[in-house]
Amino acid sequence: MTQPTLTPVPPAVGEHLVQALDVGYELVLALTEGFDDETARLAPEGHKPLVWFLGHLACAKDYFSTLHQGTPKAVSEEFSDNFADGADTNFTHVPPLEEMIEIYRSTHQRIRDFVVGLAPEDFSRRTPVLPDENMGEYAEQFRTLGKALALTQMHDSFHAGQMAPLRLALGMESPV
Q: pLDDT tens per residue, the chain (176 residues)?
A: 445 565 555 566 678 888 889 999 999 999 999 999 999 999 999 999 999 999 999 999 999 999 999 999 999 988 988 888 767 777 777 999 999 999 999 999 999 999 988 888 899 999 988 888 878 888 889 999 999 999 999 999 999 999 999 999 999 999 88
Query: Contact at 8 Å (CB) between 66 and 72?
Result: yes
User: Residue 121's domain is classified under what CATH number?
Assistant: 1.20.120.450
Does residue 4 fall inside a structural domain? no
Distance CA 23, CA 151 (A): 13
Q: Which residues contact 56 (CB under 8 A, 6 or more apart)?
A: 83, 84, 85, 159
Structural domain total, the chain: 1
Q: Give the range of the structural domain holding residue 43, as residue numbers without chain letter.
A: 11-169
pLDDT at 38: 95
Model-level pTM?
Answer: 0.89
